[in-house]
């Protein structure tokens, strides 16, 4: 944001506060919402204007999470890519919860409240600059002379993210490329492994998500330049698929063998209980740091579940379902069930 734009916004805030004082401060919440809205609008205008300024970046990268955005920025820097780019991201988990009407700020806030209430984490409420409704107005106005690259992997969230981004970009004339970083890494790894012994067991968890990767894996992909250029018809098809996804009522989505599967939110509960019972029956073999008496650390269970069901690849989801199973009195617990490392569980007798 330019200094004069910031000055204009500060002037607006001061004037709004003065008006609020004159009204005896009876509309504090409305003022806070108005200031937040004005700030968001000012940021959008500044970002859109920056696309056409002298020396504006030519390359637009879009990542599926704020952590993936950070990974991508560091990787681009380590790869020696000139700073002729900008990186955007969203902060969400599109594999869980309702997807309808995400284009409006109010509707998206309702989704974030659903995630907060169900998953028990307020983190979704503190990334407003990464909300879809915040970046949508910017992405929709990307000029035709830019090059857009969308980074994904093989999780439901990242595959839905791809379709959502292409729906938002449906009227943008710029070139759009996609890098499935997970597939590309496996391809490079396979080529490098020819004639060499297999190196199994290096991954603690199956590599499914771009957000799982590190710079050691991503930098070679940047240097190797393997993006897939989407045709106009492919872009339209992905946009149509987003509309189909957003109309479905199931609250759990997984990506398996190149296809979406739609499930009720409790679809994995019996499998989770089966794993917990199996681990509990061999509790004597568990490290002392992962148990307390005859209770097992919830984080230890979540790690096993993520390896066994990599299509979910989300510790927060397993924490959510474990808490639900506690609520249904199928699990006993000790500790504070607010984070996986803070509480221990066992099957209810």
- pLDDT tens by residue, 198-215: 444 444 678 999 999 999
Name the band, by pLDDT with cuts 50, 70 and 90, for residue 340: very high
pLDDT value of position 197: 47
pLDDT value of position 202: 46
- pLDDT tens by residue, 46-88: 777 777 787 889 999 999 999 999 999 999 999 999 999 999 9
Judge whether residue 291 has pLDDT over 90: yes
For the chain, first and last CA: distance in Å? Answer: 60
Give the helix/strand (H/E) hosting 210.
Answer: none
Average of per-residue pLDDT across 14-36: 57
Q: Return mean pLDDT, the chain.
A: 86
What does pTM read for this prediction?
Answer: 0.84
* 316 phi, psi to nearest 5 deg: -65, -35
pLDDT value of position 199: 47
Q: Tell me if residue 175 falls in helix, strand or coil.
A: strand
Give residue 337's Cα distance to chain centre.
23
Nearest Cα to 147, choosing from 45, 57, 237, 48? 57
Judge whether residue 151 has pLDDT over 60: yes
């Amino acid at each position: 944001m330019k200094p004069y734009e910031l000055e204009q916004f500060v002037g607006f805030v001061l004037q709004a506060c003065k008006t609020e004082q004159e009204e005896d401060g009876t509309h504090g919440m409305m003022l806070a919402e108005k200031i937040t809205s004005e700030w968001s609008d000012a940021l959008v205008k500044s970002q859109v204007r920056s696309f056409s300024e002298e020396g504006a970046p030519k390359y637009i990268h879009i990542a599926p999470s704020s952590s993936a955005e950070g990974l991508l920025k560091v990787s681009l820097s380590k790869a020696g890519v000139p700073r002729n780019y900008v990186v955007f991201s969203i902060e969400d988990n599109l594999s869980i919860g309702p997807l309808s009407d995400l284009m409006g700020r109010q509707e998206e806030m309702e989704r974030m409240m659903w995630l907060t209430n169900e998953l028990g984490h307020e983190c979704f409420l503190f990334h407003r600059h990464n909300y879809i409704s915040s970046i949508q107005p910017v992405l929709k106005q990307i000029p035709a002379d830019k090059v857009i690259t969308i980074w994904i992997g093989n999780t439901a969230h990242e595959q839905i993210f791809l379709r959502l981004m292409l729906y938002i970009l449906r009227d943008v004339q710029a070139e759009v490329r996609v890098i499935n970083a997970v597939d590309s890494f496996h391809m490079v790894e396979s080529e490098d492994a020819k004639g060499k012994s297999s190196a199994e067991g290096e991954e603690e968890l199956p590599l499914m998500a771009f957000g799982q990767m590190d710079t050691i894996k991503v930098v070679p992909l940047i240097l190797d330049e393997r993006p897939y250029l989407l045709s106009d018809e492919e872009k339209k098809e992905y946009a149509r698929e987003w509309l189909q996804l957003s109309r479905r009522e199931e609250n759990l989505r997984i990506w398996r063998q190149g296809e979406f599967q739609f499930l009720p939110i409790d679809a994995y509960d019996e499998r989770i209980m089966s794993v917990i019972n199996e681990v509990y029956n061999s509790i004597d073999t568990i490290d002392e740091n992962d148990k307390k008496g005859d209770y097992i650390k919830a984080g230890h269970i979540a790690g096993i579940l993520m390896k066994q069901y990599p299509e979910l690849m989300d510790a927060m989801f397993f924490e959510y379902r474990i808490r639900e199973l506690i609520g249904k009195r199928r699990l006993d617990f000790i500790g504070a069930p607010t984070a996986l490392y803070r509480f221990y569980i066992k099957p209810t007798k």
